[in-house]
Structure 1
């Protein structure tokens, strides 16, 4: 700054780039070397000097004698196999095997899937807000040294009134042979999240008019973006004129970002447009953290994929839809807590 202050006033008006511009002495610049062009290339780089623009075309006799594999075989130095000849193994042989498969994020992996190319708003909200809130709300402090609770007996034993009761396996629970999942406390390792969403449509009229099935598949394809698979009936229902083994429905399953985007459309676009809609019954669920609800045929027109070209779908052929949301929760209570954080309303008595 002191040097700039000492300059005259006209010099201060000049740009700093012109004042501090260095001066170079004029000297000849060497652009090419005739001696370097005449020198032969090293033997290792002889093949790299060949170019398709400078090499003359081979004669028919030379083309017959041209054997690239033979030249590669006679080459003394081969390419390093670790970099250019790597192939991931086809089978996983355990964590102690010297050859391990690359992670799925590596383009060389056999199970590599490119993406994700977008981040749904609902999924971003889950990772930034909902997941920390769920872990905080469900935190249960256990003082150090507290003994673990003894697990409850889920299977019934024998009373020992008969000698045949000795060494017998425990009996199943009352009410059924299937045991529901044991609810685990939420911590940073098992925060509930959406795993997949399954949509199913049932059209018994398709056995008389196949167009009903075409409309159902078109609606599911427009909503989910995946091609649905056809489903068949499993039993005969005489009252509904349904026979066993006929194609009477379709279903599809979406996972990942598509599942979050579908749930986002239901919460913010479809449900607010349904007149006098109370919400989802709180008694829904299978006891293992999977919830479900349904859409009436007149509710399907509120999806944006169908609303803008509703004239393509005949109203009398528009089917209803059943939605099954599979979560990583271990109980219906945790699944309801997750969906309530997303904005799904529940009503009615709660069944734990």
Structure 2
């Protein structure tokens, strides 16, 4: 066919039926064989009208842009000279500044979305202990804490945790109930573990108390450096509330430091403590089984000899004076609603408990 197919529109090409010459032309264009023996592909493309317009050279062989081309290349000027622009209000989404409730038609995107106002990049890594918890331990906790209730079992009425006012005074009619005896605040009521509220590690607080820092400020500096190396978070200095004569402690004086770590940093710290520190403590029974505050938080302490076993402290042991390395108190805060659930979680992660 004398006329090239490139000059015909796409719709016309679709409507025009193929002839024998067109089919032979297309078949020859798709073939890699040369028309004659010894002919090169470039010479073969010259004999075919439809391939004459193709570029025979590779784009990698194109020359580099010259200095004049680089000088004239100004994309910002081209964007500024553009007259027609897209309206930002229609084609660009801006998250709302205020959330007007869960039923409002316009909702803020999640923090994982890059266009969110509270966008937090990541996570860039998954702690090994956290991955073990999500893949294995989470389902095991639901199995261990499962309580089978046969169908038709009547529900138990919840016990009254608040006391009613006794007497015939008219002021007791609409008055709020009283707290139980000996408890100014009500403890958290334990909830059954389901797939919605599996206990997890929320935060870990590491604190140290060094009364000797009142006489020697270097003890406080060493204690703060040790906590910084262990947790990777800058500790804050703490002050004593009361005066204790036996410890030579004065009120409102700096006598320690503490720091709190969250998220992946807490999982990493717990992983190092379970697998690198606890196995090396000599004659260590474990954490006392009666520990806990009744709301799913577990506390225990480590001696100065135990703190020296942390890899961050051990690798730079010569940097710290041996007699100035303090002990520490560790408080693990979980999302559990009772000490029983918190101990199930920590036992599954590898913390041993012993009963007296």
- TM-score range with shorter-chain normalisation? 0.7 to 0.9
The total of aligned residue pairs comes to 300
1:334 equivalenced with 2:351 (yes/no): no
* Aligned residue in 1 for 2:299: 292
* Aligned residue in 2 for 1:79: 86
1:238–1:157 CA distance, 2 compared to 1 (3 A):
same
- The RMSD of aligned alpha carbons is 2.7
* Aligned residue in 1 for 2:144: 137
Q: How does 1:59-138 map to 2 (within 5 A)?
A: 76-81=83-88, 85-138=92-145
1:337–1:52 CA distance, 2 compared to 1 (3 A):
same
SS class of match (1:249): strand
| Correspondence for 2:217 among 210, 228, 234 | 210
With the length of structure 1 as denominator, give the TM-score of the two structures.
0.77
* Aligned residue in 1 for 2:53: 30
Deviation, 1:302, is 0.4
1:82–1:333 CA distance, 2 compared to 1 (3 A):
same
Cα distance in 2 for partners of 1:336, 1:313 equals 34
Determine if contact 1:228/1:251 at 8 Å carries over to the other structure: yes
With the length of structure 2 as denominator, give the TM-score of the two structures.
0.77
Determine if contact 1:289/1:329 at 8 Å carries over to the other structure: yes
Determine if contact 1:230/1:251 at 8 Å carries over to the other structure: yes
CA deviations over 1:89-123 (Å, ceiling 9, x no partner): 33323234454322111122222222222222211
Cα distance in 2 for partners of 1:107, 1:327 equals 30
CA deviations over 1:162-193 (Å, ceiling 9, x no partner): 56544443221011211100000111111111
* Aligned residue in 2 for 1:53: 70
Cα distance in 2 for partners of 1:202, 1:80 equals 61
Determine if contact 1:160/1:166 at 8 Å carries over to the other structure: no
1:150 equivalenced with 2:167 (yes/no): no
Cα distance in 2 for partners of 1:255, 1:207 equals 30
Cα distance in 1 for partners of 2:90, 2:258 equals 45
Deviation, 1:24, is 4.8
CA deviations over 1:198-255 (Å, ceiling 9, x no partner): 1111122222222111111111111111111111222222332222222221111111
1:243 equivalenced with 2:250 (yes/no): yes
* Aligned residue in 2 for 1:6: none
SS class of match (1:216): helix
Cα distance in 1 for partners of 2:342, 2:122 equals 28
Question: Which deviates more from structure 2 when the two are superposed, residues 329-338 or residues 74-83?
Answer: 74-83
SS class of match (1:178): coil
SS class of match (1:53): helix
1:157–1:309 CA distance, 2 compared to 1 (3 A):
same
Determine if contact 1:104/1:113 at 8 Å carries over to the other structure: yes
Cα distance in 2 for partners of 1:83, 1:318 equals 62
1:278 equivalenced with 2:285 (yes/no): yes
